[in-house]
Amino acid sequence: MALAGATLLGACGTVGPDFERPDMPAALAGWDGGSLASLTSGAGAPGRGSIQQWWRGFDDAVLDALIAEAQRVNPTARAAGLRIMEARAELGIAGSTLYPQGQQLSGELLRVGQRRAGGPDSSLSNFDTHLDISWELDFWGKFKRGIEAADAGYLASIARYDDVQVLMAAQVASLYYTIRTTEARLTIARDNAALQLRSLEITELLFRGGNEAELDVQQARTLYLGTLATIPPLEIGLRQAQNALSILLARAPGPLPEMKAKEDGRHMMTRLPAGLITELPADLLRRRPDVRAVEMQLAAQSALIGVSAAELYPSISLLGSVGLSATSLDGAPRVLNWALGSGLLWNVFDHGRLSNGVLVQDARFQQLYEQYQGAVLNAAREVDDAAAGFARTGAQIVLLADGVKAARRSLDIASFQYREGLTDFQRVLDSQRSLFSQQELLATSQGSLAQNLIALYKAMGGGWEQGRSRPPVDEATRAVMERRSDWKDVLRAPLPAPGAEGLPAPGGERRP
């Protein structure tokens, strides 16, 4: 009998597949970054490490401070940190299954009495207590696979927290440059309106003196009013962007004091980094937090296949109980009861319920595998889109800058010729209209260049590493939660360092 038991134990193990990191999509074999190859890397180009805090390349202390604040105080980021605490607690629940699952202490104390007519009353006390223990042995690795699934869920929660950090950095930077671009466009519109107003005043003065036709006055007025009409929509867009940025920072809607307008009312676009990363092997896309989150979901689902497969095998449990009973009757003995044994439970007649349950989990695993492949391909698309936009917009800006110079020179010539009587006022109006249009296009393109660069760093998953160095739950929130429940060290345990997460393995041990 003992030999048979030893043989059974030796034959047992962890059923179900062991998770292996999925391969990259075949379409990305040998991919070197696509449109990134079109970008020129300057002598001072940042290396791979610069992705971690890419916004510092903009050399803007205000932007740096706003991103740090958003990653710390934004409600979405705070909620993502709390989900890590939830996952830690879930992992603790899964780990407890390796110990006796049933541990029940019961007891009762009864006072029993009897009253007799014409006779003496009697009463006694009865005491009874029992401790019952049941322990299902993890012969087939069902509980270890459950721990593996919970561990993968924990790692997925960290990856989602990292992804929120990436999102916060990108959203703050995007809104920051939306505000700066809109401010620049407002300055251009107001400067051109002032220029056109002077022309209108001149034509009105000449018309009243009989030296100019009314047509010139009305055309000058039309151009001036048209330019003024572009200002209110820009002011609306500016306030909306300011409100959106304030909400990201968990502040009341309104302008940010840090972004107060300069004294002359002009907002020069903050310079962009001088160089870019021009090589991006496809494997680096797997560092993106959203891709890592899908990978950990895949690992958790792989473990659930094992949990489901273990239901096909018998469950063997150790059972035990001990009890003590006594009464208050004189001479009544105290009785100690105990029992020790084992039990077996096996769903012998499956009828397809359990076996098809395994197939359900396997089908879900394959679905997540396809989602992972799609996530990596989408990451590559986002990188290529942003790189292409950055490269093409940079080329456009060079042309537009020359166009602004030409338009300004054209206006100078037209104004001189008009004063000398060599041309009519229409040439001046056309030149003013062209200058405004070219300046608007240049400012918009400069904003697009910044937005494409931000999108490129977001697509590469940059900006999450520094979040690992601070607690995901702030001190004030921890204090409130610890007063409410006994969290022990769960809230204060540090996050794993970047790259130290590993892959989940049965029993909770990590694989590199």
Per-residue pLDDT of the chain (512 residues; tens, 9 = 90+): 333 343 444 445 789 999 998 988 888 887 776 777 666 444 334 444 468 889 998 889 999 999 999 999 999 999 999 999 999 999 999 999 888 888 899 988 888 877 777 777 677 788 889 898 988 898 899 999 999 999 999 999 999 999 999 999 999 999 999 999 999 999 999 999 999 999 999 889 888 887 778 898 999 999 999 999 999 999 999 999 999 999 999 999 999 998 885 544 444 455 566 555 554 666 678 889 999 999 999 999 999 999 999 999 999 989 989 988 888 777 778 888 888 998 888 888 887 899 999 999 999 999 999 999 999 999 999 989 998 999 899 889 999 999 999 999 999 999 999 888 888 889 999 999 999 999 999 999 999 999 999 999 999 888 898 889 899 999 999 999 999 999 988 999 999 988 877 778 777 667 76
d(CA 313, CA 308): 10
Please provide residue 44's backbone torsions phi and psi, each rounded to the nearest 5 degrees: -100, 30
Closest to 213 (Cα-Cα) out of 50, 426, 450, 71? 426
- What are the two backbone dihedrals, phi and then psi, of residue 352, each rounded to the nearest 5 degrees? 85, -5
pLDDT at site 371:
95
Interstrand relation of 315-327 and 122-136 (parallel, antiparallel or unpaired): antiparallel
What span, in angstroms and rounded, lies between the C-alpha atoms of 267 and 258? 13
The confidence score (pLDDT) of residue 267 equals 47
Q: What is the pLDDT of residue 3?
A: 38
The pTM of the whole model exceeds 0.75: yes
pLDDT in the model for residue 477: 94
Residues 325, 108: Cα–Cα separation, whole Å: 9
Q: What are residue 322's DSSP bridge partners? A: 131, 338
Structural domain boundaries, residue 306? 26-112+122-492
pLDDT, position 9: 43
Q: How many domains does the chain have?
A: 1
Neighbouring-strand partners of residue 110: 126
User: What's 497's DSSP letter?
Assistant: P
376 sits in which H/E element: helix 353-419
DSSP H helix total and E strand total for the chain: 10, 6
Query: Domain for residue 15, yes or no?
Result: no
Residue at 58 is within a domain? yes
Q: Is 505 left (phi over 0), alpha (psi -120 to 50) or beta?
A: beta
Query: Residue 399: inside a domain, yes or no?
Result: yes
Identify the pLDDT of residue 48: 45
What backbone phi and psi angles, to 5 degrees, belong to 412?
Answer: -60, -45
CA atoms within 13 A on the CB side of 320: 9
CA distance 390 to 453: 6
In a domain, 511, yes or no: no
- Whether 245 and 172 have beta carbons less than 8 Å apart is answered as yes
Q: Is residue 250 part of a domain?
A: yes
pLDDT for 46 equals 42
Give the model's pLDDT for residue 313: 92
Residue 328, domain member (yes or no): yes
Burial of 405 by CB count in 10 Å (0-12 exposed, 13-18 middle, 19+ buried)? Answer: exposed
Measured CA to CA, the distance from residue 51 to residue 38 in angstroms comes to 19
CA–CA separation, 446 vs 404, rounded Å? Answer: 13
Q: How far apart are CA 4 and CA 26, in angstroms?
A: 49
159 within domain boundaries: yes
Give the per-residue pLDDT at 146: 93
Backbone dihedral angles phi then psi of residue 416, each to the nearest 5 degrees? -65, -45
CA-CA-CA-CA dihedral for 453, 457, 460, 463, to nearest 10: -170
Query: How distant, in Å, are the alpha carbons of 70, 126, 174, 176, 498 from that of 66?
Result: 6, 70, 12, 9, 23
Q: What's 331's domain CATH number? A: 1.20.1600.10
pLDDT at 29: 80
Residue 14 placed within a domain: no
What is the per-residue pLDDT across 36-86, written as a single tens digit (0 to 9) for each? 766 644 433 444 446 888 999 888 999 999 999 999 999 999 999 999 999
| Amino acid occupying residue 500 | A
- Give the pLDDT of residue 261: 59
Q: Which two tokens stand for residue 343?
A: 């039990």
Supply the pLDDT for residue 12.
Answer: 57
Residue whose C-alpha is closest to residue 49's, from 287, 266, 227: 287
Per residue in 278-292, pLDDT (tens digit) is 546 666 788 899 999
